[in-house]
A and B are shown apart, each in its own frame.
Chain A
């Protein structure tokens, strides 16, 4: 049970992290994992094994879309961008997580610890 809750939280946070990043600009997989690591100060890290199944899942839901493009070095990369459906999902997802952290904070006084 505990494992299931933990995996749900990890999954939900991963979705939010990816959608938030892609709302700013299209990125390819390696860039996404780097940016998540950098922007979370190293607290969040996605390796290949955790990132791509999530990207494919989000793509199947129609929230993101991948397309092959050449980067500056002339190498082909699959860039992911947010779709209109993904944009629509992002706002309620952010609200849900905000209220989740607020609830957790009220309960465990996390921010004052």
Chain B
């Protein structure tokens, strides 16, 4: 009977993995070959025929080495997160930015909010676009195999970014004033304006984004595996 362990170790030379991990793989594959050999011999094959049967378990050791290296490489968690969360989130935010730019091109200005009839319609149009942006993020995440937290996360990125930016601006403004580093001419940030900005710029669009994501939060049961 051949030394299966040595045979596998020789064949896997060049497999770039930590030594302990490599030894474990060698041990496991050698056991499999040995079991195959024993089983074939037990079924009446001669030693050489059983050995050939065992060796035929792997026709291309180079390909096996390559596939093991890919399977063992520790990159999937990051790739998965990128595929399931960050890329769908980027697509959703990009769609929101493109639509916002389109509205700006059509003379939309934030200061027009609540001041004219036109600005209200623009705002409603923007909210409707947020539904589509949420749907884009959640659907892409679902397509990549993301669970519901990733789908919600991807859909809500625009609101998350806006909320973070608003809180950061308010905090910096407060620190600047409190420490007396700089006293700008335009007065302090009004709490009422800040609250209104949060409601109209983050909460309501957030609900719209979530609405868009809702149809994609269920698992795709009706879809084929291939």
Chain A residues close to B by CB (< 8 Å): 5, 8-9, 12, 16, 28-30, 33, 47-49, 51-54, 56-57, 60-61, 75-78, 92-93, 95-97, 99-100, 103
Which residue of chain A lies nearest to B80 when distances are taken between CB atoms in the complex?
A: A61
Number of chain B interface residues as a range: 20 to 34
Q: A48-B36, A60-B74 are in contact. List 19 more A-B contacts (CB 8 A).
A: A9-B226, A12-B226, A16-B225, A29-B28, A30-B36, A47-B56, A47-B57, A48-B32, A48-B33, A48-B64, A49-B59, A52-B68, A61-B76, A78-B24, A92-B221, A93-B225, A97-B225, A99-B223, A103-B224
Chain B residues close to A by CB (< 8 Å): 24-25, 27-29, 31-33, 35-36, 56-60, 63-64, 67-68, 70-72, 74, 76, 219-226
Q: Count how many pairs of residues, one from A and one from B, have CB atoms less than 8 Å apart in the complex.
A: 82
Complex CA distance for A41 and B67, rounded to whole angstroms: 28
Which residue of chain A lies nearest to B73 when distances are taken between CB atoms in the complex?
A: A60
Q: How far is the CB of B42 from chain A (nearest CB, A)?
A: 13
Q: How far is the CB of A66 from chain B (nearest CB, A)?
A: 8
- From B35, B72, B220, B225, give the contact of A30 (CB < 8 A): B35
Inter-subunit contact B27/A76 (CB<8 Å): yes
Interchain residue pairs with CB less than 8 A apart (12): A5-B226, A12-B226, A48-B32, A49-B57, A52-B32, A60-B71, A92-B219, A92-B221, A96-B221, A96-B225, A99-B221, A100-B224
Contacts of A103 in B (CB 8 A): 224
Inter-subunit contact A8/B29 (CB<8 Å): no
Inter-subunit contact B71/A53 (CB<8 Å): yes
Inter-subunit contact A56/B35 (CB<8 Å): no
Complex CA distance for A16 and B220, rounded to whole angstroms: 17
